[in-house]
Structure 1
Amino acid sequence: MQKRTSQAIATITCCAALTAGTASAAHAATPQAPPASSPRAATATPAALPSGTATATSFWDGVTASGKPMRYQTIASPYWPLGTTVKITYGDKTAVGVVEDFGPAEWAVAQHDIPAIVDLSEEMMAGLTGVRSNSVHVRFQVLSWGTGRVFRSAGTGYDLAMGRG
């Protein structure tokens, strides 16, 4: 029953996005259903939340999958639910962001020595590294799970994003 309800909501959301006439909204509105072991289904304690080292890339886009405008705190991940709060550390600098978009793309995740499981807003990247457009190794720590859509529930970097990589 829950699977049918989720599929119906995704279909309605997709149709609404298509009616609005925006391909990017349609793309953002058709996420894959999260697996039964998804972060939303887990009753994780703070110690069980994922953390590790990943590659972070930077991005800037006028429209995010959440519908919110880009801002300093905007980050993107294909594996974490929208609304997830994540602490990013580069050297001795730290920033906290909120997943409001989906990315990087699968090909971009896989092209790095450590998978690029997170995109930082160009402003956050500049605050951490001094350069807006960059690709660097960072420490990440999921602080709390969001309750929004998940774009992908498998693929290169998924285990890393879930703290198993």
Structure 2
Amino acid sequence: MQQRAIDTALTALTGTALAGMLIAGVAVESAHGAPADKPMAHTGTTQHHNGHTTGGKTAGGKAAPKTRAILSGSTTASYFWDDGSGVNGDTGAPASGKPMQKGLFASPSWPMNTKVKVTYQGRSVTGFVGDRGPGEPSHRGVMLDLDTYTFRHLVDGKKPASNYDTGTSVGHLKGVKYQVLSWGHGAGTKGTPKPLG
């Protein structure tokens, strides 16, 4: 009986102490400028630097998951569509073995299946390295070949005239920003893009 009385007293004392700590925490938070009756709002962040993270808010107001870029930079990009159909000099299916599709990029050196986000004039597309290229232009600083859908979206937000025709007179985009989000496990070299061959 005496042990039960001691246990009851300890439970009441612990509850009172926890309540006091909670009230003290609210008072401290209130002293720092946050209203005591409202929780602090989380505002998502967007940071840009090497090894940076990007984030923000989702449509539901929740913080979007942050994505960490392994490598970032800028380059000149061209466009292509090569599905092995023989149209316009197609040379065969993409080197990764995955079919030609929206979001399939060609890199002269990055490992196959590397996940890459490209951004130009506020428009972005996330895709993957699924082919090799561009060929000779990579020796002149053209380090990414984008599928026609991605290329046209970056130009003006529209769709191409066809798989092979972007529907614009633009052949190259200078200053395309890239972010490597994850390295692929296929053949290739991690790090700064290197010319083909």
Q: TM-score, normalised by structure 1?
A: 0.59
Q: Give distance in 1, aligned partners of 2:128 and 2:72.
A: 15
Q: Could you list the runs of 4 or more consecutive aligned residues of structure 1 that deviate by over 4 angstroms after TM superposition?
A: 45-48
Q: Where do 5+ consecutive residues of structure 2 fail to align?
A: 1-50, 53-67, 84-92, 161-165
2:153 aligns with one of 119, 127, 131: 127
Q: What percentage of residue pairs aligned between the two structures are identical? A: 37
Q: Give distance in 1, aligned partners of 2:104 and 2:69.
A: 24
1:110 aligns with 2:131: no
Could you tell me which residue of structure 2 aligns to residue 87 of structure 1? 117
Could you tell me which residue of structure 2 aligns to residue 147 of structure 1? 185
Q: Give distance in 1, aligned partners of 2:187 and 2:134.
A: 16
Kindly indicate whether the alpha-carbon contact (under 8 Å) linking 2:79 and 2:172 is maintained by their aligned counterparts in 1: yes
Q: CA RMSD in A?
A: 2.3
Q: Give distance in 2, aligned partners of 1:126 and 1:51.
A: 22
Q: Where do 5+ consecutive residues of structure 1 fail to align?
A: 1-44
Q: TM-score, normalised by structure 2?
A: 0.50
Within 5 Å, give how 1:1-165 maps onto structure 2: 49-62=70-83, 63-105=93-135, 107-111=136-140, 115-130=141-156, 132=166, 134-137=171-174, 138-150=176-188, 160-161=192-193
Task: Kindly provide the amino acid, as one letter, of the partner of residue 109 in structure 1.
Answer: S
What per-residue deviation string (whole Å, max 9, x for no partner) do you get for residues 4-59 of structure 1? xxxxxxxxxxxxxxxxxxxxxxxxxxxxxxxxxxxxxxxxx776722111001101
Higher relative contact order (CA 8 A, sep 6+): 1
Kindly indicate whether the alpha-carbon contact (under 8 Å) linking 1:50 and 1:161 is maintained by their aligned counterparts in 2: no
Deviation at 1:134, TM superposition (A): 2.5
Kindly indicate whether the alpha-carbon contact (under 8 Å) linking 2:108 and 2:193 is maintained by their aligned counterparts in 1: no
Structure having the higher Rg: 2
Kindly indicate whether the alpha-carbon contact (under 8 Å) linking 2:119 and 2:178 is maintained by their aligned counterparts in 1: yes
